[in-house]
Structures are given as C-alpha cells and as structure tokens.
Structure 1
Amino acid sequence: MSTFKHLSINELIHMTTDSNDVQIVDIRDGATFNAGHIENSINLTNENIAQFIADADMDKPLVVVCYHGISSQGAAGYLIEQGFDDVYSLDGGYAAWGAAHA
C-alpha cells in the first residue's frame, strides 16, 4: 500500500508550472478558503468529499493543503485509502504558501 508524500512550496510551484494535471484540495474552513487560496484549488469539506472522490482522476497528482501542513497529512492518508495513487501533503500549508507569495 502506498503512502502520501511531503511536498515543499517550491516543489508545488514547479509541479503546477510543469503540468495542468495537478489537483489541489484545500481542507481549511470555507470562510478562510474564500479569503484566500491557491489558484485552481478546491475547498474540500465533509459535504463535498464523496462527490470529489467520485469525480476526481485517481491517477493525477493530488496535493492536500491545510493551515500549517499538519491536518493535511491525515487527509492525505485518507485519500490514499480511497484509491488515489499520487497524494502529497503541502509542508507548511497555506501559511507557508501565503508567506512565499507575499
């Protein structure tokens, strides 16, 4: 059984620059997501996760983003269990992404 991988901000920048096939899910609360998020990311919640899993491409890279890179690790593990092949947890989360893009 595979496991998720850790991804740095720089690795995510390169990944999204090199390919449009990267799926990014943000597990922060809706208000925080609406206040700012990574371009083309989806706010993944308990309400839409079943639909996301049904619609997503299980073979494309999937990056999970949270506030600081802690909660995303559990979510990434869960998504691996659901059948995704290439799952990453963004180290430092949106806080690090925001600092890098300030």
Structure 2
Amino acid sequence: MDFLLSQNNLYILIIALVSGGMLLWPNLRKSHGSSGVSVPEAVQLANQKQAVFIDVRSAEQFKTGSIPQARNLPAADIQEKLASLPKNKPIIVVCDQGRDSARVAATLRKQGMADVFSLDGGVRNWASGGLPLSKKA
C-alpha cells in the first residue's frame, strides 16, 4: 500500500486514471442516448440502410456546399415539414458544425421518430474527411 501512496507513484496513478477516463468517455457518451454519428458511420448508414441526409442550415449556406443527395430543410421550418420526412429510413441531420443538428435531431426524436442521428462535426467534418460536397446554383 505504501507503494501506491508514495508521492511519485501517486502522480502516475492519477495520470493513469485520467487517461483511462478520457479513453472511455466517447463510449460512455454514446451509451447514454447520444445519437451523434461520425462521418464513416453516416456513410455506412447511407449505403446500407439508405439513410436520408437532412441539412438544417439556411438556403444560402446550403448553396455554398452540401452533402450530395442532402435535402435542405432549415431548422426554423422543421416543425412545419415534419410530415414530409421519411418514416421508414434513418435520418441523418446535418448542419455546419454539429450543434444545430444535434438539437434538431433531439426534437425529431421527441416527436416520435426513431432512427434520427446527428452528424458529428457537421458539413465541416464531412469536407475535412475528403468527402465530396455539391454546390447548388
């Protein structure tokens, strides 16, 4: 027991515990209801389950570059257009950095939609992953 309580070893123990916590944090966050998906997970959902991308940015931002096949539905209009969203396919909500999409995804889940996800990092993360963006005229 003296080994653990000596000054130098105590620092090592604290560093090990903090490092372990930091490694476990992403998994703990996902298990507590967070529905964010990474870019590779989003691509996999789109390819395997025909997930639909809903871009909740403004029309002006959408035109500057969006995920191919994404549908623009500004966050302000989401309640009005709720009935037009597909019920039988997963939905991946996208915004610029991931904050607005997480909020909209939570709103959609509260409205009873089951397979709703938010793209972690948004369109910026998509582009930094080397995936294409389409520009609308």
TM-score normalised by length of structure 2: 0.64
- After superposition, where does 1:8-87 map in structure 2 within 5 Å? 8-20=38-50, 22-45=51-74, 46-47=76-77, 49-51=79-81, 53-87=82-116
Name whichever structure is richer in helix by fraction.
Answer: 2
- Alpha-carbon offset, residue 85 of structure 1: 0.7
- Alpha-carbon offset, residue 101 of structure 1: 2.2
2:37 to 1, 4, 7: 7
1:96 to 114, 119, 125: 125
Paired with 1:48 and 1:11, the residues of 2 have a C-alpha distance of 24
Q: Which runs of 5+ in 2 are unaligned?
A: 1-32, 132-137
Name whichever structure is richer in strand by fraction.
Answer: 1
Paired with 2:79 and 2:67, the residues of 1 have a C-alpha distance of 18
SS in 2 for 1:84: coil
Bigger relative contact order, structure 1 or 2 (CA pairs below 8 A, ≥6 apart) = 1
What is the alpha-carbon root mean square deviation over aligned residues? 1.8
| Larger-gyration structure (1/2) | 2
Paired with 1:33 and 1:49, the residues of 2 have a C-alpha distance of 19
Contact 1:25–1:65 (CA under 8 A) maintained in structure 2 = yes
- Alpha-carbon offset, residue 92 of structure 1: 0.7
TM-score normalised by length of structure 1: 0.84
Percent identity for Structure 1 against Structure 2: 30
Runs of 4+ aligned residues of structure 1 deviating over 4 Å after TM superposition are none
Q: Which runs of 5+ in 1 are unaligned?
A: none
Count residues in correspondence: 98
- Alpha-carbon offset, residue 4 of structure 1: 5.6
